[in-house]
Structure 1
Amino acid sequence: MSEFEVDLFVIGAGSGGVRAGRIAASHGARVMVAEEYRVGGTCVIRGCVPKKLLVYASHFAEDFEDAAGFGWSVGETRFDWARLIEAKDREIDRLNAAYIRNLERSGAKLEPMRAVIEGPHAVRLADGRLVTAGTILVATGGAPYIDPALPGRELAISSNEAFHLQRLPERIVVVGGGFIAVEFAGIFNGLGVETTILHRGDGLLRGFDEDLRHKLREEIEKKGIRVVLGDQPAEILKADEELVLRTAGGLEIEAGEVMIATGRLPNTAGLGLENAGVARDGAGAIVVDAYSRTNVPSIYAVGDVTNRVNLTPVAIREGHAFADTVFGGKKIAVDYAGIPKAVFSQPEIGSVGLTEAEALAEFPAVDIYRADFKPMKHTLSGRDERMLMKLVVDGTSQRVLGCHILGAGSAEMTQLVAIALKMGATKEDFDATMALHPTAAEELVTMRQPSMRHRR
């Protein structure tokens, strides 16, 4: 008989926590999971899933316009924000229920309340119960960050509130230049909202390939999104029925809403980590080793709360690896190389592997293959939108180091290209692959001559 009530106590029922709990239970562990909000985490409840549903909705205005070039006469169109949000909420409710069913079917016990660590093997539930556990896993994710020193910050919304607006504003300012900022800017713009992006950096999507960053700005400005770089909020004021955002650079921008999307922080406050002596870094993230173990042997952490690679599939992989390692008798460390990324901006972006700058820093010889073209659809639609594809290749071994795509379907393409890169495909392998015509993806196997050769 174990000295503990459960073998595993999971704090947080998001993507990583649910996967860890289910897999641990499948290995025979007695599992308890606590979640104070809704099962599914940020991605399912107020992140990737509802966001992509809104992205789909925001595309239809352009689709109606494009239809004319293909012989369709589209009559009057009207958009109802309330109906969209109602439909989105129904789908999130369905997913939440499915996550709960799957977790409970695995044998894990769900406690719908907050849990706080009281020691290396003890957790206190919000109803006062103390639960002892052989292992504790923290999987509480991250939370939007709004600078507490910003005057008027209480007037702003984050991505959390954006999913539940009672009405669409006529104008919005989105502050930030990362994934969330450019995605929501595209959503609001596509739904007819006058949209401004305000970002303190010199370009959007820091960390992505420079060609993609420049091309994205060019394309979203064509769509009517105003992009203000090198500036940041100084104050948000209430003015009659609207808000006024004053910037450090002296601008005054009127808007119905100001959305702050300047990043997320690990959600570690108030978890009782100090009660067990769990180490955190300067950003508040839980420090873990390659097997997601903290400095306290009985406590682990996965997902955004560790601030490693903050993507849903990564949290899922980390949770699975943790459960296999601790309860399945397999010592598994997650491989973080070659993780594909998608940004559901408009147009969307898919990226995997090294950027041109990263490759140049690591390899003495780098070849760049680049195609910039009008997609076939827009030869008839007349839309002024272009597509970009780029391969980064080791000039010595000819191994493909990176693939970066901007345009319709780029995320789907990138998922498949990621397999080839993981297997070590060379440019010759791409060249030897028969093209699938007519597709945009065929450009990936028909770019024969380098656009640029770097040698040092």
Structure 2
Amino acid sequence: MSRSFDAIIIGAGQAGPSLAGRFSAAGKTVAMVERKHVGGTCVNTGCMPTKTLVASAYAAHVARRAADYGVSLGGTVGVDMKKIWARKQKVTMDARTGLESWLGGMPGCSLIRGHARFTSPHEVEVNGERLEAPGIFLNVGGRAHVPDMPGLAEIDYLTNTSIVELGSLPRHLVVIGGSYIALEFAQMYRRFGSEVTVIERGARLASREDEDVSAAIRDILEKEGIAVRVGVDDIRFARRGEEALVTLAGNEEIVGSHVLVAVGRVPNTDDLGLDRAGVATDKRGFILVDDQLRTNVDGVWALGDCNGRGAFTHTSYNDYEIAAANIFDNDPRRVSDRITAYALYIDPPLGRIGQTEDEVRRSGVKALIGTRPMTRVGRAVEKGETQGFMKVIVDAGSHAILGAAILGVGGDEVIHGMLDGMYAHAPSGVIQRAVHIHPTVSELVPTMIGEMKPLV
């Protein structure tokens, strides 16, 4: 038994439902195949649940600082993890059911639950049924990478997927990894009341950032009582009763009630039967695509985290926009048009765009750099949130913005003014002459640009 469609989309993550909507609006038939939850990582185990938890942690943190603002609270500030979990779950379920309703109302769209595997370049099998289409779009996302570490299999470790289902408060959360997922959960659970230790193999936290940004991130976390170990190249695990014994190089022992493994992600491409379709991958399993997201097999595209061209919800959605523009709009949009942009959602958040200072130095381009500590940003002072700093790097000749970082209150939002300037190919002087609203964090960006000096 087989069914034919104009398109098959495998994976109902960020790019999938919107692309299905375009096919439906064009009067085409489309099969949306999802083996687990509609919404993918973002809705179910990523952005939405984690940022909901971050918001609860922030509320607890501000409540504990109430006296700093002249506010008196009766008694000790505590957290109710069951209510926090329920709030998170409602946000996730509202988003998931909304997407399911949207897909269910699309003319010509069939939502099929099951695991799709290729049987040929334009045919997949789901639940014993053959589906065929001239266009197949892989949007299968990724999952937590769990490395082969001595003794890890002996303990009940957590990943980003299982920790968001944790409805209790760890006594001591040991976080393996020092990048974005790891640090967000570390600060979150410290603010909930757990003892937290972060263990990172590399020389510093958030290693893809400049050293000054990494150092500032570590300082923020350590000031909240998070223990940090970096440069740890030997990590071993063993069960100690109901808890986990983590032994580091030098025989330092840490006993944790819970262990979170957050050391990167791998694509969900190992069980799709890609070899039967002839779809090429790199050595890490990411599907190889061209600048318009086409694979080496005609009529097969790869969108989102599984193609290795971006690891964020916003890049996945942009993948949908690129594919849709090329297929439906005769608009040759490309991945290479995209400017690097992302955020780290510790508090205060980091907003990052373009190149780092290190990357600009290595390029040999003559550049200007401007910095400003958040202690010299009036809005941050007024809010009592002065940790971090802002930094912008500009081409010394053209004055094009090359990159920027804002680690500070509102940094994830403020950074977009400069990002929009980069997309508009506007020289930094345009932003410098802009009249921003007072009092805001954004109003100090023109001031910072006006104080730039040569990058040496």
TM-score (normalizing by structure 1): 0.93
Report what 1:292 is aligned to: 293
* Deviation, structure 1 residue 116: 1.0
- Distance in 2, matches of 1:187 and 1:336, equals 35
Contact 1:389-1:443 within 8 A present in 2 as well: no
What is the identity, as a one-letter code, of the residue corresponding to 1:37?
A: K
What is the identity, as a one-letter code, of the residue corresponding to 1:25?
A: S
- Distance in 2, matches of 1:110 and 1:217, equals 45
Alignment root-mean-square deviation, CA: 2.1
What is the identity, as a one-letter code, of the residue corresponding to 1:352?
A: I
- Distance in 2, matches of 1:422 and 1:451, equals 21
- Distance in 2, matches of 1:449 and 1:325, equals 40
| Partner SS for 2:36 | coil
Please state if 1:96 is matched with 2:99: no
Structure of higher RCO (CA pairs closer than 8 Å, 6+ residues apart): 1
Where do 5+ consecutive residues of structure 2 fail to align? none
* Deviation, structure 1 residue 161: 0.6
| Partner SS for 1:13 | coil
- Distance in 1, matches of 2:249 and 2:126, equals 45
* Deviation, structure 1 residue 4: 7.0
Contact 2:60-2:78 within 8 A present in 1 as well: no
Of 260-269 and 21-30, more deviation after overlay is shown by 21-30
* Deviation, structure 1 residue 6: 0.2
Of 91-100 and 325-334, more deviation after overlay is shown by 325-334
- Distance in 2, matches of 1:64 and 1:166, equals 21
TM-superposition CA deviations, 1:191-211 (whole Å, max 9, x none): 111111100111111222332
* Deviation, structure 1 residue 233: 5.3
| Partner SS for 1:288 | coil
Contact 1:10-1:32 within 8 A present in 2 as well: yes
- Distance in 2, matches of 1:401 and 1:148, equals 39
TM-superposition CA deviations, 1:147-205 (whole Å, max 9, x none): 13542235211010110114111111111121101111111111111111100111111
- Distance in 2, matches of 1:113 and 1:170, equals 38
* Deviation, structure 1 residue 332: 2.9
* Deviation, structure 1 residue 431: 2.2
Of 396-405 and 268-277, more deviation after overlay is shown by 396-405
Report what 2:7 is aligned to: 8
- Distance in 2, matches of 1:58 and 1:321, equals 36
Report what 2:85 is aligned to: 85
Structure 1 runs (4+) deviating above 6 angstroms are 380-383
Report what 2:33 is aligned to: 34
| Residues 92/431 of structure 1: CA separation in 2 closer, same or farther (3 Å cut) | same
| Residues 332/426 of structure 1: CA separation in 2 closer, same or farther (3 Å cut) | closer
Report what 1:45 is aligned to: 44
- Distance in 1, matches of 2:213 and 2:264, equals 20
* Deviation, structure 1 residue 452: 4.3
* Deviation, structure 1 residue 141: 0.3
| Residues 136/382 of structure 1: CA separation in 2 closer, same or farther (3 Å cut) | closer
| Partner SS for 2:343 | strand
| Residues 327/28 of structure 1: CA separation in 2 closer, same or farther (3 Å cut) | farther
Please state if 1:262 is matched with 2:225: no
Please state if 1:59 is matched with 2:53: no
- Distance in 2, matches of 1:222 and 1:415, equals 28
What is the identity, as a one-letter code, of the residue corresponding to 2:169?
A: L
| Partner SS for 2:246 | strand
What is the identity, as a one-letter code, of the residue corresponding to 1:181?
A: A
- Distance in 2, matches of 1:447 and 1:378, equals 15
| Partner SS for 1:15 | coil
- Distance in 2, matches of 1:381 and 1:445, equals 21
- Distance in 2, matches of 1:189 and 1:97, equals 31
Q: Report the count of equivalent residues.
A: 451
